A and B are shown apart, each in its own frame.
Chain A
Amino acid sequence: MSLTEADLDQRSRAAAGDVASAASNRAESWTLEGLHARRAATRTRRQFAGVGVLALLIMSVALFVRLPLDEESSDGGSVGIVDQPVEPPPAPVDADAGDVVILADGSGFATYLDPAAETAVGGQRLAGFRQGDQPHQLIESGGRLVVGWGEVSSTALDGTDAVRLGTAEYAVPAAEDGTVWLIDYPGSSIDTRQPATASRVDVGDGRVIESGAVPAGVFPEHGIPGGLAVIGQDDDRGLFLWDAEGGGALIEVASNGQVAQVDARGGVLVFCEEICQSVGAIDVERPGQVFLIPLGSSVQATPGSLQLSADGNHLAVGVDILGLGDEGEGEGSLMVAELSIVNGIDLIGQRLVEPDGAGPPLWVAWSATSDLLYLAAPYETDDDALDFALYQVTATGEILSRDRTRGVVPLSGAAVVVPRATVSIPPPTAEGLAACDGGPTPTGCRWTVDDPLTVEATPTATRTPDTDAPHNELDVPLLGRYAHTVTWTGSEVVVWGGDATYNGSGPAFGDGAVFDPSSSRWRPMAPSPAEPTSDHLAVWTGEEVLFLGGWQNPRQLVGYDPVQDTWTTRADAPFEVTTNINPFYNAAVWTGERMLVWSGADGMAAYDPTEDRWEALTGPPVEHRYTVALHVDPRSDPASVVAVGGSENLQGIDVAIRQPDGQWTEGPELNQLIDADKRSAHIPQPSETVLTDAGLLVVPSQGAPIPAALWDLTGDWIELPTPPKPGCASLPRPIRIDGGMIVGNLCGNGVRFDAGTRSFTPFESDGPMGSNQVVWTGEELIAIEPTSGVGSAAGPAMTSWRMAIPVDPSEEE
């Protein structure tokens, strides 16, 4: 039943009046002076220190004028010129001498794109890359790839032949080909309060070529000839040069630029502030002469998109058009500029390229020959999914090609381009083929230009379970996936749903499998009547698993009986439930009789499976923001439920208890324990809470400068010692085990909390734990990771790590 026209008009009038009233109150104190101050502040941010008058002069004469230069240009390339037109486009690219784009796909694997052959091979393991390494970093130097955090390695371009380069927190590109800078801090984490050791090493054998101490207070960002460009870590975030032989002295480039992006090639250093509307450029031999390249008043560079060509003569910047009138609408663009490096930097010409219908570039990368550049830009598919298109653009801003084949270009923050002649694209792995929406070919995915492909809804499992798998690695008879659910039933692990890509643009899955830890055997689930979905919730009732909502069908509810292997469809949820996009994520728990579902946006409801009926409930009296959490107090009977939200202004978390009679009792906010100056560094999340036998525990993620906190459900929050920091990149999610808590990361490092002693103990294990899909069986953790293990000819696979809980040394005694 729909609203009547009259009702709709009435509601719309009331809603309009409501907003108008609120807007009037909010804008009441606005003044013209305030607007001028905001305008001035925005402009001030564009000025880099030390270039004041010069910058204004340059910006005033180097006007960025968007003029239609060539109406016949491909793909709507509106262009603007400065000073004089750029050089004519180079000769057409010889397809046989083309490029290969190598992308770090964010999960420790690489994807190889060959634009000329229109093939893509994904899911290639990079030797030397460990779970937990910075997933979006990829450096090419001397014909090798450099990967890894903590332990830095280089590999051949095809991902094989790992060579360990050394122990360091991270690596940055060096100006000298064939080398890379390793940045190593005392301890095992990046701490710019301490000096770091910077060593430039040969990527072939790890041999140290030069080394020195980078002073505290700066962050090494990029190599320059003989040294590094470093960004100050104080409030001003200035840019400085560090000379490896200079005894730690820093040369100032910009003292207060709020610098956020740096790139350097061929003796040219470019940089940009956080809000980047003009790019600073210097000849590193003349660091005092900063040349500003304006991007325009209505565009802004996107993070990580500042890219110089290898010779330093061309600059590419991915920009975000902020929207002017009917134009733009947040669409993406690319600015290419040609630079002169004679007696300092000068601008020969620049051009704005506007890829049609795409968002701001995800990354931009030049070819080794500096005459072509590649970029990936997001676009919305016909069914409102997010996917990435690959563009090939000349150095003068002509778009040569655009490829939109779904699921081929992964979400990646790192891309390198190498001549095709230098790399032999490895054969596709099962994971690579699994992502081939266009269908596999002998060399990888079919890649059809400008032809979005129809996506099959439910790929079919093709692998036979391997029941003789080694203890620490189990083959899962399902395609690799993300945003699926893993549910422990008390005797089995039920894995269901999810989708094929990080960004949700891939096909959703409607299949699943059940794992029996006692026999190490998997069995398939009966076909589900549910629409394939990801980002859904799963709740075990004691008799069945209820799968609720999801990205593709946010209201659907189905039940799965693992004993009978049968499904039942249930009444739709009263509001949309998905664990993604919706800024107020949802949570669900089983209270013993009903499933309680909390949507931060839409309130709370309870589902009774015996009557197949939903009931609206009064939601908890807590503020809420991104994530919400619900915990059932296992000591209560009937069940009390603890609701965890986030207090207003992102300053802490807020809690309440729902008593068995349905009444809510407000708990104390956590804000008090967090110093104001630490809030910007880390804000506790509801997802970082776990209800232990000692109370509700909040465990800050690795490196967060705040203590752990405990609320015993009656009094106030108490501060606990800051937990030890496990090494390597951390994606923690605490899990309740044996009345306590365990939290780990993708390296298998973590801490466990003993509810009895209220103390933390660090540990190292032999597998990743940082997944959102981890269950505790009472004896062990089972993590169902989305990415694959070693590629297998047998077919697509998903790998889980099954590992015993590390023994607490104190317990051994």
Chain B
Amino acid sequence: MAEVGREAPGVSAVSAGGREVSAFEAIYSDHRNAVLGLAYVMSGRWGLAEEVTQDAFIKLMDGMAAGTVDNPAGWVRTVAMNLARSRVRRIKAEIRALMRLGGRRHEHAELDTRRVESEAFWAVVRLLPSRQAEALALHYQDDRPVREVAELMGIAEGTAKALLHQGRHRLAERLGPSDPEDV
């Protein structure tokens, strides 16, 4: 697991272009898979996850060039998760509203049927309150300890611990008797 908080932050806004690209390239190479995984976990859609991951890295590229990013690996994760959550929420709201308008289809929304085998697990994670889901995604998918979960979410460590506890409790409940396989 790569250390999230502190790698390669030394790209200053005024440093030479070559160094900037090099530092970004390293971040991109080391973290894109993990960011993509997080984006998928939060959205459940590979197409959307790929899109927001690339958009997050584009933002990171600009941010690093401007010298406004202290913690690139953490920053890009947070941006990607925010983007994923935001776009899924918008899609859902649009779908619900449009379906009410007499059953209109919504053809341009993100619809991705390519799932992973463990999708049932992540689907339940996504049903949790968003902060709990985010904490669990970082903890499980990105393998972050509580301290880093807190750091990435910008919350106190105790709060992160509580979110993880509540999330795990609910997850265990939901994965238990409610699992369709138990029928």
CB within 8 Å of B: which residues of A? 1-5, 7-8, 11-16, 18-20, 22-24, 26-27, 30, 32, 35, 38-39, 42, 106, 135, 297-298, 320, 322-326, 328-330, 359-360, 378, 386, 411, 482-483, 502-504, 574-575, 579-581, 583, 601-603, 605, 614-616, 623-627, 648, 650, 682-683, 685, 687, 701, 731, 733, 746, 770-772
14 A-B residue pairs with CB within 8 Å: A8-B168, A12-B136, A13-B140, A15-B141, A20-B141, A27-B50, A38-B58, A386-B96, A605-B183, A627-B105, A648-B113, A682-B107, A685-B105, A770-B102
Q: Which residues of B contact A23 (CB under 8 A)?
A: 33-34, 36-37, 40, 49
- Assess whether A323 is in contact with B86, with CB atoms less than 8 Å apart: yes
Tell me if B161 is interfacial: C-beta within 8 Å of chain A: no
Q: Which residues of B contact A297 (CB under 8 A)?
A: 59, 62
Q: Which residues of A contact B153 (CB under 8 A)?
A: 326
- Assess whether A605 is in contact with B121, with CB atoms less than 8 Å apart: no
Tell me if B172 is interfacial: C-beta within 8 Å of chain A: yes
The 9 closest A-B pairs by CB, nearest first: A330-B86, A323-B82, A15-B118, A731-B102, A574-B183, A23-B37, A2-B172, A18-B118, A15-B121
- Assess whether B183 is in contact with A330, with CB atoms less than 8 Å apart: no
User: Which of B58, B85, B123, B180 contacts A574 (CB under 8 A)?
Assistant: B180
Query: Which positions 105-121 of chain B face chain A at CB distance < 8 Å?
Result: 105-107, 109, 111, 113-114, 116-118, 121
Q: Which residues of A contact B37 (CB under 8 A)?
A: 16, 19-20, 22-23
- Assess whether B59 is in contact with A324, with CB atoms less than 8 Å apart: yes
Query: Which positions 73-110 of chain B face chain A at CB distance < 8 Å?
Result: 75, 78-79, 82-83, 85-87, 89-93, 95-97, 99-107, 109
User: Which of A24, A326, A624 contacts B113 (CB under 8 A)?
Assistant: A624
Q: Which residues of A contact B105 (CB under 8 A)?
A: 626-627, 683, 685, 687, 701
- Assess whether A683 is in contact with B116, with CB atoms less than 8 Å apart: no
- Assess whether A18 is in contact with B104, with CB atoms less than 8 Å apart: no
- Assess whether B102 is in contact with A772, with CB atoms less than 8 Å apart: yes
Q: Which residues of B contact A616 (CB under 8 A)?
A: 180-181, 183
| Least CB distance, A569 to chain B, in whole angstroms | 18
Alpha-carbon gap, A746 to B91, bound state (A): 26
- Assess whether A19 is in contact with B99, with CB atoms less than 8 Å apart: no
In the complex, the chain B residue whose C-beta lies closest to that of A627 is B105
Tell me if B145 is interfacial: C-beta within 8 Å of chain A: no
- Assess whether B121 is in contact with A503, with CB atoms less than 8 Å apart: no
Alpha-carbon gap, A297 to B63, bound state (A): 11
Do A482 and B100 form a contact, CB below 8 Å, given A325-B79, A330-B82?
yes
Alpha-carbon gap, A326 to B59, bound state (A): 14
- Assess whether B113 is in contact with A27, with CB atoms less than 8 Å apart: no
In the complex, the chain B residue whose C-beta lies closest to that of A579 is B99
- Assess whether B102 is in contact with A650, with CB atoms less than 8 Å apart: no
Tell me if B171 is interfacial: C-beta within 8 Å of chain A: yes
| Least CB distance, A58 to chain B, in whole angstroms | 19
In the complex, the chain B residue whose C-beta lies closest to that of A647 is B113
In the complex, the chain B residue whose C-beta lies closest to that of A615 is B183
- Assess whether B95 is in contact with A583, with CB atoms less than 8 Å apart: yes
Alpha-carbon gap, A26 to B54, bound state (A): 12
Do A27 and B140 form a contact, CB below 8 Å, given A38-B54, A771-B102?
no
- Assess whether B116 is in contact with A22, with CB atoms less than 8 Å apart: yes
Tell me if B175 is interfacial: C-beta within 8 Å of chain A: yes
Q: Which residues of B contact A7 (CB under 8 A)?
A: 172
In the complex, the chain B residue whose C-beta lies closest to that of A555 is B178
- Assess whether B173 is in contact with A2, with CB atoms less than 8 Å apart: yes
| Least CB distance, B43 to chain A, in whole angstroms | 11
Q: Which residues of A contact B106 (CB under 8 A)?
A: 626
How many interface residues does chain B have, given as a range?
35 or more
Q: Which residues of B contact A386 (CB under 8 A)?
A: 93, 96-97
In the complex, the chain A residue whose C-beta lies closest to that of B75 is A325
If A378-B93, A605-B180 are given as contacts, then 9 extra A-B residue pairs at C-beta distance below 8 Å, sorted by A number, are: A3-B175, A8-B171, A12-B121, A23-B33, A330-B90, A386-B96, A482-B100, A583-B109, A625-B113
State the majority secondary structure of interface residues on A. Answer: loop
- Assess whether B117 is in contact with A18, with CB atoms less than 8 Å apart: yes
In the complex, the chain A residue whose C-beta lies closest to that of B182 is A574
- Assess whether A328 is in contact with B82, with CB atoms less than 8 Å apart: yes
| Least CB distance, A31 to chain B, in whole angstroms | 10
| Least CB distance, B128 to chain A, in whole angstroms | 12
Do A650 and B118 form a contact, CB below 8 Å, given A20-B33, A20-B141, A39-B58?
no
Q: Which residues of A contact B89 (CB under 8 A)?
A: 330, 359
Fill in one digit per residue for B119-136: 1 if any A CB lies within 8 Å of its CB, else 0. Answer: 001110000000000001
Q: Which residues of A contact B90 (CB under 8 A)?
A: 320, 330, 359-360
- Assess whether A24 is in contact with B58, with CB atoms less than 8 Å apart: no
Q: Which residues of B contact A3 (CB under 8 A)?
A: 171-172, 175-176
Query: Which positions 25-84 of chain B face chain A at CB distance < 8 Å?
Result: 25, 28, 32-34, 36-37, 40-41, 46, 49-50, 53-55, 57-59, 61-62, 75, 78-79, 82-83
In the complex, the chain B residue whose C-beta lies closest to that of A616 is B183
Tell me if B154 is interfacial: C-beta within 8 Å of chain A: yes
Alpha-carbon gap, A583 to B93, bound state (A): 11
Alpha-carbon gap, A458 to B118, bound state (A): 39
- Assess whether B87 is in contact with A330, with CB atoms less than 8 Å apart: yes
Q: Which residues of A contact B82 (CB under 8 A)?
A: 323-326, 328-330
- Assess whether B102 is in contact with A19, with CB atoms less than 8 Å apart: no
In the complex, the chain B residue whose C-beta lies closest to that of A378 is B93
In the complex, the chain A residue whose C-beta lies closest to that of B120 is A602
| Least CB distance, A387 to chain B, in whole angstroms | 11
User: Which of A39, A360, A503, A648 contacts B97 (CB under 8 A)?
Assistant: A503
| Least CB distance, A466 to chain B, in whole angstroms | 26
* Most A Cβ at <10 Å: residue of B50, B99, B117, B168: B99
Q: Which residues of B contact A11 (CB under 8 A)?
A: 118, 121, 175
| Least CB distance, A10 to chain B, in whole angstroms | 11
Q: Which residues of A contact B172 (CB under 8 A)?
A: 2-5, 7-8
- Assess whether B32 is in contact with A15, with CB atoms less than 8 Å apart: no
| Least CB distance, A437 to chain B, in whole angstroms | 18
- Assess whether A603 is in contact with B86, with CB atoms less than 8 Å apart: no
- Assess whether A19 is in contact with B101, with CB atoms less than 8 Å apart: no
- Assess whether B116 is in contact with A731, with CB atoms less than 8 Å apart: no
Q: Which residues of B contact A12 (CB under 8 A)?
A: 121, 136, 140
Q: Which residues of A contact B113 (CB under 8 A)?
A: 623-625, 648
- Assess whether B97 is in contact with A411, with CB atoms less than 8 Å apart: yes
Alpha-carbon gap, A648 to B115, bound state (A): 12
| Least CB distance, A578 to chain B, in whole angstroms | 10
Q: Which residues of A contact B97 (CB under 8 A)?
A: 386, 411, 502-503
User: Which of A574, A605, A626 contacts B111 (CB under 8 A)?
Assistant: A626
Tell me if B177 is interfacial: C-beta within 8 Å of chain A: yes
- Assess whether B87 is in contact with A580, with CB atoms less than 8 Å apart: no
User: Which of A5, A8, A135, A605 contacts B101 (CB under 8 A)?
Assistant: A135
Do A324 and B79 form a contact, CB below 8 Å, given A12-B140, A19-B40, A615-B183?
yes
Alpha-carbon gap, A772 to B121, bound state (A): 33
| Least CB distance, A497 to chain B, in whole angstroms | 14
In the complex, the chain B residue whose C-beta lies closest to that of A13 is B140
In the complex, the chain A residue whose C-beta lies closest to that of B39 is A23
In the complex, the chain B residue whose C-beta lies closest to that of A32 is B25
Q: Which residues of A contact B53 (CB under 8 A)?
A: 27
Fill in one digit per residue for B1-41: 1 if any A CB lies within 8 Å of its CB, else 0. Answer: 00000000000000000000000010010001110110011
Alpha-carbon gap, A42 to B122, bound state (A): 31
Alpha-carbon gap, A2 to B177, bound state (A): 7
Q: Which residues of A contact B87 (CB under 8 A)?
A: 330
Q: Which residues of B contact A502 (CB under 8 A)?
A: 97, 100-101
- Assess whether B95 is in contact with A15, with CB atoms less than 8 Å apart: no
Do A323 and B121 form a contact, CB below 8 Å, given A20-B33, A42-B58, A625-B113?
no
